Amino acid sequence: MEDQAGKHVRRPRYRGTHPRTYKEKYKELQPEKYADTIAKVIQKGSTPAGMHISICVKEILEFLQIRPGQTGLDATLGYGGHAQEMLKCLEREGHLYALDIDKGESEKTRKRLELLGYGPDILTIRNMNFARLDEIAAESGPFDFILADLGVSSMQIDNPDRGFSYKYEGPLDLRLNPEKGVTAAERIKKISREELEGMLIENADEPYAEEIAKAVWEKKRTGLEISTTTELRQIIEEALAFIPAEKRKETVKKSCQRTFQALRIDVNHEYEALYEFLEKLPDALAPGGRAAILTFHSGEDRLVKKSFKAFQKKGVYREVSNEVIRPSAEECLRNSRAHSTKMRWAIKA
Ligand SMILES: C[S@@+](CC[C@H](N)C(=O)[O-])C[C@H]1O[C@@H](n2cnc3c(N)ncnc32)[C@H](O)[C@@H]1O
């Protein structure tokens, strides 16, 4: 087994027959080498560590109608699964631009796609916030197609060092760009009880926002810092101890999910970035250009719906999706992370 610098390192030993922690899943983290393991994990309906299974690929490609020679943008590169499919449609003619604010993950994706033959002649990758859509469009010329698959990738969620999941012990970080901004732990340190309560309601419709904000505030008052994912989870568990035992486990799980989502949206300024992107989208599209957006919670979907309808009313978009498009039941069965996905699209006049 080799580390990132190519040096030989002893592989982690794990107890029992199956690896449990992220670091023990060294086979899943080397998909080129252990294709059988990857196939088995996917067949079980799970996402291998260090990988992301792209959602609604068929629906996106059907809508975007990509043709050789076109110029497109993948505003959220991630693992590059969608990018790879879009590149196939270009048949080596045209160009795909791709953005991501996660430098570490996009570097891995750049290498992976280069090995598949997609180098700088056909693919340009930038570490850039999609809120700066106007800047990339000024460089590339207007886009024939644009995709944004919002939120976090499985690689980010599953890596405990990033702090995205309440399920794994790790630093309470939650930044998509680990080189910029404040961590969720720093944010919690400074936030008032009222502001935290408001954030939990606004970003995640958390029904126990008041109880959770109070519990966090009481913990901080004793002088304790909340610096890890499990510390925050414990506080949520304690705050919800009044829930009847038979319902508690499920309620705590949901409140943990929503609290982490609310903090992630906040530290990454996700609504602000999406709002700017949506405002700049029409000018970045060529006449007849197509844009598809995948969202993962109601706050995001509301923003997309509102923007698409408003620009359609002004005659900027020729057509927009009237209903959300959902992944098929079969896709949700194969990929549990597809459950909450909603897709909307727009065509420039
Ligand atoms: C759901 S993943 C994309 C997965 C990708 N479509 C694939 O098939 O592998 C979302 C990605 O968007 C990135 N991202 C989130 N917000 C962003 C922003 N404002 N600007 C650029 N990238 C962003 C995240 O870092 C993450 O890698």
pLDDT in tens, 196-230: 999 999 999 999 999 999 999 999 999 989 999 99
Residues 6+ apart with CB under 8 A from 106: 77, 98, 100, 125, 127
Range scoring the smallest mean pLDDT among 13-22, 172-181, 202-211: 13-22
> Would you place residue 34 in the very low, low, confident or very high pLDDT band (cuts 50, 70, 90)?
confident
Of the two residues 332 and 6, the one the predictor is more confident about is 332
Mean pLDDT (the chain) is 92
- Mean per-residue pLDDT, 2-13: 54
- Mean per-residue pLDDT, 281-300: 97
Q: d(Cα 158, Cα 3) in Å, to the nearest integer? A: 19
Residue 207 pLDDT = 97
Range scoring the smallest mean pLDDT among 10-14, 125-129, 138-142: 10-14
Q: Is there an atom of ligand 1 within 6 Å of 78 CB?
A: yes
- CA 78–ligand 1 middle distance (angstroms): 5
Quick: pLDDT tens for 296-306.
999 999 999 99
Q: Is the pLDDT of residue 327 over 60?
A: yes
β-bridge partners, 8: 2
**Pairing mode of beta strands 95-100, 123-127:** parallel
Q: Is the pLDDT of residue 234 over 70?
A: yes
Residues 58/63/67/70 CA torsion (nearest 10 deg): -120
Range scoring the smallest mean pLDDT among 4-18, 57-71, 87-101, 111-125: 4-18
CB atoms within 10 A of CB 306: 12
Q: Is there an atom of ligand 1 within 6 Å of 80 CB?
A: yes
Q: Is there an atom of ligand 1 within 6 Å of 27 CB?
A: no
Phi and psi at residue 65, to the nearest 5°? 50, 55
Residue 25 pLDDT = 62
Q: Is the pLDDT of residue 176 over 90?
A: yes
**Nearest residue by C-alpha to atom 8 in ligand 1:** 81
**Cα–Cα nearest to 132, from 283, 293, 305:** 283
Pocket of ligand 1, candidates 153, 276, 343: which has the most ligand atoms within 8 Å of its Cβ, to mutate? 153
Q: Is the pLDDT of residue 175 over 70?
A: yes
- CA 239–ligand 1 middle distance (angstroms): 32
Residue 3 pLDDT = 47
Q: d(Cα 270, Cα 264) in Å, to the nearest integer? A: 8
Q: What is the pTM of this model?
A: 0.89
- Mean per-residue pLDDT, 175-191: 96
> Would you place residue 29 in the very low, low, confident or very high pLDDT band (cuts 50, 70, 90)?
confident
Residue 50 pLDDT = 75
Residue 323 pLDDT = 95
> Which domains are present in the chain?
1-39 (no CATH), 57-154+271-348 (3.40.50.150), 178-267 (1.10.150)
- Mean per-residue pLDDT, 238-249: 96
Q: Is there an atom of ligand 1 within 6 Å of 130 CB?
A: yes
> Would you place residue 14 in the very low, low, confident or very high pLDDT band (cuts 50, 70, 90)?
low
Residue 16 pLDDT = 64
Residue 37 pLDDT = 73
Quick: pLDDT tens for 258-275.
999 999 999 999 999 999
Q: Is the pLDDT of residue 4 over 50?
A: no
Range scoring the smallest mean pLDDT among 39-48, 75-84, 132-141: 39-48
Q: d(Cα 110, Cα 127) in Å, to the nearest integer? A: 11
Q: Is the pLDDT of residue 232 over 70?
A: yes
Q: Is the pLDDT of residue 13 over 90?
A: no
Residues making up the binding site for S-adenosyl-L-methionine: 80-82, 100, 130, 149, 156
Residue 51 pLDDT = 86
Phi and psi at residue 30, to the nearest 5°? -125, 70
**Nearest residue by C-alpha to atom 3 in ligand 1:** 78
Of the chain, the percentage scoring pLDDT greater than 90 comes to: 84
| C-alpha R_g of the chain | 21
Residue 341 pLDDT = 97
- CA 102–ligand 1 middle distance (angstroms): 8
